[in-house]
Structures are given as structure tokens and as C-alpha cells.
Amino acid sequence: MQPLSFILVVAELVSASVAILLAFLSLFCRKILRERGIHRSLWTPVFASSYLFLVASLLALLYTFSVDLMMEMKTLEILYHVTWLVGIGTLTYGVYDYLRMIEKS
């Protein structure tokens, strides 16, 4: 493995770890808020986007190893970017919806 590939693998593993941490934190927050009777919150889109970020990180890892796995690199790259776009879009919508809820109250 070349040094640049090693750096990319480490970066994607760190990104995947942060996405897993974000998913767990948002799940715990959703659970606590649901116990208190709050069903609409910012944490639902945060959880969805963290899941998508995790998928994108895993796709990036597959992309890094695609030469070894003989996979189509363009397909993995497209899936990676689409997953990140959907994740960012979901997170943006969640923040916007939460902002509207705060403005109403």
C-alpha cells in the first residue's frame, strides 16, 4: 500500500468513527426526548445523515481498495458523492425544520 493510500484509509476510518459516534449520540438524544414526550426533534435527521455519512465513508474505503477488489471505480465514486449529498441535504433540512419550530414557539 502506498503512503497516500494509507493516509486515505486512516482518514476514512476516522470519518467512519465520527459518523458512528454521531449516530449513537443522536439515537440517545432521540430516546431521551421521546421519553419526555417530544416526538419531533432535530435528532431524527441528524441520525439519518450520520448513517449516510457512515455509508459514504465505507464506500470511500471500498474505493481506496477498489484496485485490489477489481470493482468499478466510477460507480463507487458516484455512490460516494450521492450518499454525501443526500446526507448533507437531510441534515440541512433537519436544521431548517428545527429553525422553523423554534421560530414558532
Contact 60, 73 (CB under 8 A): no
Q: Closest Cα partner for 16 from 94, 87, 82, 66? A: 87
pTM for the whole structure:
0.66
Question: pLDDT (tens digit, 9 = 90+) per residue, 11-22?
Answer: 778 888 888 888
**What is d(CA 94, CA 46) in angstroms, rounded to the nearest whole number?**
7
Query: What integer pLDDT is reported at residue 65 of this predicted model?
Result: 72
pLDDT tens-digit series, residues 30-89: 888 788 887 767 777 888 888 888 888 888 777 777 655 555 666 777 777 788 788 888
CA pair distance 33, 70, nearest whole angstrom? 46
d(CA 59, CA 54): 9
Euclidean distance between CA atoms 27 and 22, whole angstroms:
8
- In which domain, by residue range, is 62 found? 3-104
What is the arithmetic mean of pLDDT over 91-97?
Answer: 78
Tally of domains in the chain: 1
- State the pLDDT at residue 81: 79
Can you state the percent helix, strand and coil of the chain, rounding each to 5? 85, 0, 15
